[in-house]
Amino acid sequence: MDGTGLRDVLPPARLFIDGTWRESGDGRTRAVENPATETELTAVPVATAADLDDALAAAAAGFRRWRTTSAWDRSDLLRRFARTIRAEADRFALVMTLEQGKPLAQARGEVLASADQFDWYADEARRVYGRSVDGHDTSTRILVRREPVGPVAAFAAWNFPSLLTARKIAPALAAGCSIIVMAPIEAPLSTLLFAEVAERTGLPAGVLNVVTGEPAEVSRHLVASDVIRKVSLTGSVPVGVHLSTLAAQGLKETAMELGGHAPVLVFPDTDVRRAAEVCARGKFRNGGQVCIAASRFLVHESVADEFTEAFVAETRRLRLGDGRDPDTDVGPLTTAARRTAVGELVDDAVAKGARIEHGGGAPEDFQVGYYFTPTVLTGVSADMRVMREEPFGPVAPIAAFATFDEAIAVANATPYGLGGFVFTGDLTTAFRASEELEVGMVGVNHLTIATAEAPFGGVKQSGHGREGGTEGIDDYTVTKYVSMRLGDLA
């Protein structure tokens, strides 16, 4: 795609503050790269402290306007967001593929899932319920209200740059909050597209602001401001700890959707070959760069060989390539650093005795692009990094277990607690496993559990707070209690 074509597809590579597109105050920029070709797509501004102060002032003013907008009007605007996103799904998907690398079909699915977030919260905006309680005596009434928490600073991740941003913008707007979104520097353009949507749908200036820049500088400046009342992050555990520490200094509310290392428990009473095929396809979606991705396959010893054979066979059928090619199943990793990190995990496992059943490194027939062949490891053990650290890449370690209790113990033996999966034909096993896994979400007999109508989030070091479901909007509200005396003054 030439420069002219790109200009027709990409959003403005600028800051979006108070309803206006603008360059950074000092003109600094940072390149955005196509991971399939290692060429520059465009360059986005690096926000200065003055730019961020302007965004904070805009968010403060935007909040004063937006919080008094009726729930029905907020709902109507969110519905317009959803319609606009769906109408532009093909273009938005192409932008995502160009900057992040995932296949177009997966990118389009993500864009449509982003629209679902706005549709869901369009309904939830009208259902922020309070309650009325009779007081201790007949002259007192107690009212409980849910009110917007205030301006939000949101930080989304690059692996799902549209959906993870939508999960923050939609509930914030539904609740009556304004929001400043820090676009992920690795893939910022998909987030900037939401600023386009805000313009086209008539969202009041200052309610949504999108900034780009150096993550450490932006996060430190925004979180420290008295304007910000809530911080929402999708990111790594270390970043979550850092932002939580900054937020605690101002006693700000936080929501943290952090890393995961999801176990998959495969019991012998399931359709083993079909489970293996589903797991292989699901594992390598988005190149394995998925926080809730299946990342440790724990298979009953009686069917471990059968599962591994079918898993490897399905993996071999996956086609690696540029995400713009409709035949591509697995695109490049998003950054060179990610490819290096994944390679180090594989090298560590092999050095400690793991066997490579497929893949193992960068493919030799790709001269450019951050490609890594989908990799299957067996003979893995607990001392290997790949069993302890979130791989966030196309690496699938397979281990055998003998008993239910052993499977649960291994599954829970990490500090992570985002998601887990169970494949079984027995209802009792399904309930027992889902209840004993120390995670925030469990999928039984499937892997695609993220959806707008369900609460997404983890426990342990995978964070706190929920995005989606009826719980999602609650994270953007605070409780106010009003005691009203009737009749004479007390």
CATH classification of the domain holding 47: 3.40.605.10
Q: How many domains does the chain have?
A: 2
Are 220 and 101 members of one domain? yes
**Which of 439, 458, 410, 438 minimizes the C-alpha distance to 266?**
410
Domain of residue 424, residue span: 262-451
Are 336 and 320 members of one domain? yes
Q: Can 291 be counted among the known catalytic residues? A: yes
pLDDT tens for each residue of the chain, 490 residues long: 545 577 789 999 999 999 999 999 999 999 999 999 999 999 999 999 999 999 999 999 999 999 999 999 999 999 999 999 999 999 999 999 999 999 999 999 999 999 999 999 999 999 999 999 988 888 899 999 999 999 999 999 999 999 999 999 999 999 999 999 999 999 999 999 999 999 999 999 999 999 999 999 999 999 999 999 999 999 999 999 999 999 999 999 999 999 999 999 999 999 999 999 999 999 999 999 999 999 999 999 999 999 999 999 999 999 999 999 999 999 999 999 999 999 999 999 999 999 999 999 999 999 999 999 999 999 999 999 999 999 999 999 999 999 999 999 999 999 999 999 999 999 999 999 999 999 999 999 999 999 999 999 999 999 999 999 999 999 999 999 999 998 888 6
For residues 18 and 205, is the Cβ–Cβ distance under 8 A?
A: yes
CA–CA gap between residue 254 and residue 229 (Å, rounded): 9
Are 386 and 467 members of one domain? no
Are 271 and 159 members of one domain? no
CATH classification of the domain holding 420: 3.40.309.10
What pLDDT, on a 0 to 100 scale, did the predictor assign at position 2? 46
Q: Token match 């400046």: residue?
A: 221
What pLDDT, on a 0 to 100 scale, did the predictor assign at position 489? 83
Q: Is residue 456 part of a domain?
A: no
Q: Is residue 87 part of a domain?
A: yes
Q: Which of the following is catalytic: 33, 186, 291, 467?
A: 291
Are 253 and 270 members of one domain? no
Are 234 and 297 members of one domain? no
- Which H, E and C letters describe the chain, residue by residue? CCHHHHHHHCCCCCEEECCEEECCCCCCEEEEEECCCCEEEEEEECCCHHHHHHHHHHHHHHHHHHCCCCHHHHHHHHHHHHHHHHHCHHHHHHHHHHHHCCCHHHHHHHHHHHHHHHHHHHHHHHHCCCEEEECCCCCEEEEEEEEECCCEEEECCCCCCCHHHHHHHHHHHHHCCCEEEECCCCCCHHHHHHHHHHHHHCCCCCCEEEECCCHHHHHHHHHHCCCCCEEEEECCHHHHHHHHHHHHCCCCEEEEECCCCEEEEECCCCCHHHHHHHHHHHHCHHHHCCCCCEEEEEEECCCHHHHHHHHHHHHHHCCECCCCCCCCCECCCCCHHHHHHHHHHHHHHHHCCCEEEECCCCCCCCCCCCCCCCEEEECCCCCCHHHHCCCCCCEEEEEEECCHHHHHHHHCCCCCCCEEEEECCCHHHHHHHHHHCCCCEEEECCCCCCCCCCCECCCHHHEECCECHHHHHHCCEEEEEEEEECCCCC
Q: Which of the following is catalytic: 99, 110, 253, 257?
A: 257
What pLDDT, on a 0 to 100 scale, did the predictor assign at position 444? 99
Are 359 and 394 members of one domain? yes
Are 308 and 243 members of one domain? no
Q: Is residue 179 part of a domain?
A: yes
Are 242 and 317 members of one domain? no
Are 223 and 328 members of one domain? no
Angle made by CA atoms 359, 364, 366, in degrees to the nearest 5: 110
Q: Is residue 277 part of a domain?
A: yes
What pLDDT, on a 0 to 100 scale, did the predictor assign at position 7? 75
Q: Is residue 490 part of a domain?
A: no
Q: Is residue 484 part of a domain?
A: no
Q: Is residue 60 part of a domain?
A: yes
Are 225 and 310 members of one domain? no
Are 216 and 360 members of one domain? no
